[in-house]
Structure 1
């Protein structure tokens, strides 16, 4: 599964330990690799002592993430999503796992909320512009090629149904290609969180490639906090704003890590606008979204990023979404936030 880029503006803000104390609980940190990126899990072992050993817990986490890849990685020819993409229209609908169905259903729901901006069927256009699994840098596609790819794109070209307890997925056109990378990494965060919950761990922070979910408190008995950093962090800038994550998730989308440059020197983002059928090109550098779960935050961050600054803020106000934007302008960068985001950070100042 490709690593959907996340903002270098979003990074874990580690709180300093002011003094050692025997009564201070010890934070356990687990790290590994998944979905073309890395993960970090921090947690406080519960006082019950029922938590598995760290090595055993990490094995359970790795197994949960491996299952997500087995289901939804377009880089694996034998994954569920690859088998669906290889299937022809008109064939018997493909039986899919409950998790695969859950992620697809959420992608369909978020497509409606974002007015079509999040579209997990634009894979043919993504591949055409050179951002697919092959990652081949190509010249701008012809109008005919773009039109051909667009004919097999669109959320209306997939059909998710339930046959008793079995979820089924079908396509209406040959060539329809499903890519859940804009939402599956967040789902991976949620699966890790569920693994920790099953181990009776109530205080933890999970991060996969910049997508996060926090619950409970850290060793200083404070809510887990994440710093969204200003763009000049690469020159040593300080955190722009601090977001508390108490049973909340944060995801960020941006266009600065994966892009091509065309013959005229114009940046072509890896994120395709389903309406224009072209890589997005606007002044929004990144957008961070806080939601109840990482899957939803992940999908919303992509959809709202496609919409651009004004449309994203308008939708965020209408839907009461907590979003924070970093915008390029002629003087460098500026920031904006929705009312829900402002309320979140002002009500939970340390």
Structure 2
């Protein structure tokens, strides 16, 4: 038996849709109650706070209601409001201001030997007073979004598991938000898992377009469904986190170049000849010199760990700097640690390429 119904229930005067087309969560654990509800007549939904829920103190039950034959009301506990939205409603002033209305029902009552093999989906809108719409949409408490994927790619779900980090990608025309995984080396469209539900897309697109981000991970998964938790980061939080990461990076670099060091092996450094230096004047075997600044200078300019390479006459041949040129990191750090630990550097040219790159061999020797 297949049931499909689309509902266009009248919205009470003074109310508007706050969130639309949300899936009732956990319905697969209450199939009997849900099927009984959808087969009845004159259907509607109600919210009921579930204060004693052991796994979620913010849980909100969804009760499926229908008129009984003798004039009473049949009530069936069919599932929950999606966790992220339930948290927002429960912790804000909106619980006693909003209410659900049915959106659509799709049910396939396929049962074999008392085992349910079909599927059932019940969607609903959340409506509330028009004067609270803007507050509901922009309240900062609504920063943890939890949703089930729409249009699930089942083949991709087979390689995913709880705890996997996923990415949100906004389509160029802003018509939707796609969820991707790079599990198993999948990249780009290959890792497409599904879509963010429609009722959350506008909020996510707006936050990302302003420079915000999401830390997203899988919190539950099955063959046919996947639940994603997303921690919303505002542009200000992204900037703060980036600055904190940069501060940690600079501290790590400062610690590295300040520690006492005893070099054990030679190492190489490549640099590009300055434009005013004739390539033929730099040959394999030439002795050159590395010129550094004081430790205090570098500790005050950790964003530019630059060293100069001079020939035997003191002419500047070229420069190497980190982090502007990231592949110099190891060699420049070893140079500074050696010099600041009191070692002299023997430096010889080992090769000169056609495109003017010079490779030098650096051997720290006895202390100065």
In the superposition, the TM-score normalised over structure 1's length comes to: 0.24
> Which structure: greater strand fraction?
2
Higher CA-based Rg: 2
Structure number with the higher helix fraction is 1
